[in-house]
Chains A and B, each alone.
Chain A
Amino acid sequence: MSVDLEEPRSVPARSASTPVKPRRRRMAPRDRVFTVVAQTILSLWALVVLLPLLWTVFSSFKSSGGILSSPFAMPEEWNFDNFVTAWTEAGIGRFFGNTVLVVGAALVLVMLLGAMCAYVLARYEFPGRQVLYYGLIAGLTFPLFLAVVPLFFIMESLYIRGTYIGLILAYVGFALPFTVFFLYAFFRQLPEEIAEAAAIDGAGDFRTFFQVMLPMAGPGMASVTIFNFLGLWNQFLIPIVLNTDRDKYVLAQGLANMQAQQGYDSDWGAMFASVTITIVPVLIVYLIFQRQLQGGIGPGTDK
């Protein structure tokens, strides 16, 4: 498995056989029929994806009564009351801040430590290297919920349960295998000549890594960062086990808690607004970075 940086737009074989950009030819009738059918099915699926999202966004502007009585009507007025309620009274603002803090810190740490660890494992030969590598990879296959009970007591005995530090360290630990696994492949691909050149120029291990190798792994770092961000932003089990203080709740926890307390017939408007607040920033981040994500991580067949 490897990480493809961009969609393989220029497969070597293709550029060799058609050196000139092919002109658009008229399609055969059968092709056109198939294309229309394909377009229709794909559009239907796009609708299935978009409808719930649009419904959520529109509903977040309505009153609870309006949501229940006329679910498909457009909001009568663009009313931001629900957002204010959600952000302040329901505590979404606070949870949002907590999440940014915890995920941000964990992301920086895990990318740094993961890159360092992957670099050493990929480019230095020493006894026990394979054992460490496989030991790390094994962490990917174990179910997280097996670990949470002991993890709870480990945090307890280190006096960091229910603190931001404890949560961040747990995030780092559990994101580490994924990070090392993918960055390992990147560091192995980097040409040795450059590291040698750096060594000849007198750069030590630290400088070679930070000033030469790490910048060269930039594209890989970007993809892994995005996937780690999504993974950590989504994390639910670790926080509900370790992070039981309501003031320190992360967004996922706060939302689930809010939903559990609301039942079916209370403030739907605020709930929809909270969901919108959670979804929209992530969607915007995704739209900005979607180039890196498209074709993102997958087993490469071209090597």
Chain B
Amino acid sequence: MAVVPTTAPPESVPRSRGRRARITPARVLFFALFLGLPMLIYVVFVVSPFVQAFYYSLTDWRGLARAPQFIGLDNYITLFHDDVFRRALRNNMIFMIVLPTVTITLAFILAILVTVGGDSRGTIRGIRGATIFRVVSFFPYVIPAVVVGILFAFIYSPNGGLLNGLLNLVGLDIHIAWLGDRRFALAAIVAAVVWSLVGFYMVLFVAAIKSIPSEVVEAARIDGAGRFRLSVAVILPMVRENVSTAAVYMGIMALDMFVYINVMTPNGGLGKSTEVVSRYLYQTAFSDSRFGLASAMGVVMALITMLMAVIVLFGTRQKGER
């Protein structure tokens, strides 16, 4: 689970009077265990793979048989001449834009309906049955992504799938293989992912909306703001930080998507129409043993991820206030 830090940098600890300075054997042991042990695991299994990946991306490494040769930026050049990689990257970009937009819009609307529904006088009290809606909406979030993928592969199945079945119920006699059709495959995958995410962000937004000081909401109402204006002009700006955090979360996810693609359209779909970089990377590394090239893909995606996070977080922070 990836989270984007939005807290302020840790200021120096103001207290700890008289607790520092004394270095006793017990304290050395304490630090070794409490700080050393977790850090050791973190460095060996997290930091060092990331660092090594940068190095491997500059080599032609193909596995243990032969020592890797340093080949500079050749892998990166190969990548950008590779049609499949470019298509995969394009698909990731589509996901990165569409997923957060659709999910956040839907989640915000639902959160507004839950909180701003009900009595318009006084504080935000929420709609009747709000708890049930929140609990139910959150269900998909606790379902493993693999299962969401499998579930939707069933739903989209051309024979016996739930979606075609529902369409047949309302009189449309169609038999579309939603995931096997270039026109629908990407949209179908987006819909599945949105389904699994909306509840979580809805709950997040509901919590944020509820913590808006009631004076603000009341003042807006006294000034004659209707529900729509209240939501868009008052509430939305006040939960802006949550929205941008949500966008970064989902952006990071959209640049991955490995699980969903791997389960719903193995091999990247018909004509690579749903290929994404993470899946292509996995294939390049563990089927083709081109570890250097695969690492270069990972580096490209890491840079894009960071760039996206920086743009979203700073872009939303500078607007308005202060």
Residues in chain A within 8 A of chain B (CB atoms): 1-2, 4, 7-8, 11, 13-14, 17-18, 22, 25, 27-28, 30-31, 34-35, 38-39, 41-42, 45-46, 48-53, 55-56, 67-69, 71-72, 113-114, 116-117, 119-126, 129-130, 132-137, 139-154, 169-170, 172-178, 180-181, 184-185, 188, 192, 195-196, 199, 204-206, 209, 227-228, 230-231, 233-234, 236-237, 240-241, 251-252, 255-256, 259-260, 264-265, 268, 271-272, 275, 278-279, 282-283, 285-287, 290, 293-302
Shortest beta-carbon distance, B259 to chain A, in Å? 5
| A256: chain B residues within 8 A (beta carbon) | 146, 149-150, 262-263
Closest A-chain residue to B145, C-beta based? Answer: A234
Verify B282–A140 contact, CB threshold 8 A: no
* Smallest CB separation, A159 vs chain B (Å): 14
- Which of B50, B136, B165, B213 contacts A50 (CB under 8 A)? B136
Alpha-carbon gap, A275 to B146, bound state (A): 10
Do A38 and B127 form a contact, CB below 8 Å, given A49-B139, A130-B10?
yes
Closest Cβ of chain B to A9, distance in Å, is: 8
Pick 9 A–B contacts, CB within 8 A, sort by A.
Answer: A17-B215, A35-B118, A38-B113, A46-B136, A67-B160, A71-B165, A140-B3, A146-B49, A295-B207
Complex CA distance for A28 and B213, rounded to whole angstroms: 23
Q: Which residues of A contact B210 (CB under 8 A)?
A: 7-8, 11, 295
Would you give the 0/1 interface string for B260-285, flagging 1 where the beta carbon is closer than 8 Å to chain A? 00110010000000000010011001
Q: Provide the residues of chain A in CB contact with B127, threshold 8 Å.
A: 35, 38-39, 42
- Asked whether, in the complex, the Cβ of A143 is within 8 Å of the Cβ of B252, the reply is yes
Q: How far is the CB of B319 from chain A (nearest CB, A)?
A: 16
Cβ–Cβ contact B162 & A52, under 8 A: yes
Question: Are B19 and A199 touching (Cβ within 8 A)?
Answer: yes
Contacts of B138 in A (CB 8 A): 286, 290, 293-294
User: Are A204 and B26 also in contact (CB < 8 A) when A147-B49, A149-B294, A286-B139 are?
Assistant: yes
Which residues of B, 1-56, contact A by the 8 Å Cβ criterion?
1-7, 9-10, 12-13, 15-17, 19-20, 26-27, 30-31, 33-35, 37-39, 41-42, 44-50, 52-53, 56
Decide: B215 and A113 in contact? CB cutoff 8 A. Answer: no
Q: How many residues of B contact A (CB 8 A)?
A: 127
A143 and B301 form a contact (CB under 8 A): yes
* B129, B145, B151, B281: the one within 8 Å of A56 (CB): B151
Contact residues in B for A153 (Cβ distance below 8 Å): 64
- Nearest to B37 among chain A residues (CB) is A113
B41 to chain A, nearest CB (A): 5
Instruction: Type the 1/0 row for B284-305, where 1 means its CB is closer than 8 Å to any CB of A.
Output: 0110000100110011011001
5 closest Cβ pairs, A-B complex = A146-B298, A173-B45, A295-B207, A38-B117, A147-B49
Chain A nearest Cβ from B289, distance in angstroms: 10
In the bound complex, residues from chain A placing their C-beta under 8 Å from that of B207 are: 4, 7-8, 294-296, 298
| Stretch from B77-85, B96-104, B182-190, B237-245 at the A interface | B237-245
Please name 18 further chain A to chain B contacts, defined as beta carbons within 8 Å, in addition to the given A143-B302, A181-B3, A299-B241, sorted by A numbering. A7-B207, A25-B119, A27-B119, A35-B117, A39-B127, A46-B132, A48-B195, A49-B137, A52-B155, A130-B10, A141-B2, A145-B281, A146-B49, A147-B46, A148-B282, A170-B45, A176-B38, A283-B139
- Point out the residue from B5, B122, B211, B227 that lies within 8 Å of A8, measured CB to CB: B211
When the two chains form their complex, are residues B4 and A141 in contact, meaning their CB atoms are under 8 A apart? Answer: yes
CB of A252 within 8 A of CB of B135, answer no
- A174 engages B45 (CB within 8 Å): yes
Do residues A151 and B110 form an inter-chain contact, with CB atoms below 8 A?
Answer: no
Residues of A within 8 A of B135 (CB): 287, 290, 294
Nearest-CB residue, chain A, relative to B305? A143
B46's partner among A139, A181, A227 (CB-CB below 8 A) is: A139
Q: With A30-B120, A146-B299, A300-B211 given, is the CB distance from A42 to B133 under 8 Å?
A: yes
Cβ of A11 and Cβ of B120 under 8 Å apart?
no
Q: Which of B195, B214, B252 contacts A11 (CB 8 A)?
A: B214
B258 within 8 A of A: yes
A142–B302 contact, CB under 8 A? yes
Least CB distance from B181 to A in Å reads 15
Contact B146 A234 (CB under 8 A): yes
Q: Please state if B160 and A52 are interface contacts (CB–CB under 8 Å).
A: no
> Which residues on A sit within 8 Å (CB–CB) of B291?
149
The answer to whether A143 and B255 touch across the interface, beta carbons within 8 angstroms, is: yes
Which residue of A119, A129, A172, A268 contacts B34 across the interface (Cβ within 8 Å)? A119
CA of A195 to CA of B216, assembled, Å: 38
| Chain A residues near B169 (CB-CB < 8 A) | 72
Q: Determine if B247 is an interface residue (Cβ-Cβ < 8 Å).
A: no
Given A178-B3, A234-B145, A259-B263, do A14 and B214 touch, yes or no (CB 8 Å)?
yes
Contacts of A150 in B (CB 8 A): 48-50, 52-53, 56, 295
Is B159 in contact with chain A by the CB < 8 A criterion? yes
